[in-house]
């Protein structure tokens, strides 16, 4: 905060504001992993990207159910052989 540069002061304020969260990260280091959530998020994003050609959100939703696996499929009004 002793710096005369305003960007440095802004950075120090931000660090001080988030200090508890930063210290939590060091305290819980490697105790928790967000790998599973990141993997699911990646699958959802890929499926959504592929779904740009779909005509409705319902078709995208069904595609997500198929991609994620073992999730209940929505009831369909159409019957496929």
pLDDT tens for 3-14 read: 889 999 999 999
* Six token digits for residue 51: 């779904």
Residue 49 lies in a domain: yes
Do 22 and 46 lie in one domain? The reply is no
Query: For residue 52, what are the domain limits?
Result: 35-68
Residue 60 lies in a domain: yes
| Residue 76 domain flag | no
**Global confidence as pTM:** 0.44
Q: Are residues 14 and 40 in the same domain?
A: no
Q: Which residues 6+ apart lie within 8 Å of 38 measured at CB?
A: none
DSSP class of residue 73 equals P
- Report the largest interatomic distance among the alpha carbons of the chain, rounded to a whole angstrom: 75
The residue written with tokens 């699911």 in the block is 40
Half-sphere exposure of 15 (CA within 13 A, CB side): 7
In a domain, 59, yes or no: yes
- Overall domain count for the chain: 2
Dihedral sign for Cα atoms in the order 54, 57, 63, 67: positive
Comparison of pLDDT for 9 and 51, the residue scoring more: 9
pLDDT at 18: 94
């Amino acid at each position: 905060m002793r710096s005369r540069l305003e960007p440095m002061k802004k950075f120090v304020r931000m660090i001080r504001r988030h200090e508890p969260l930063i210290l939590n990260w060091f305290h819980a280091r490697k105790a928790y992993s967000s790998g599973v959530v990141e993997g699911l998020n990646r699958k959802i994003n890929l499926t959504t990207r592929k779904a740009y050609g779909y005509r409705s959100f319902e078709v995208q939703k069904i595609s997500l159910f198929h991609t994620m696996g073992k999730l209940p499929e929505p009831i369909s009004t159409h019957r496929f052989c």
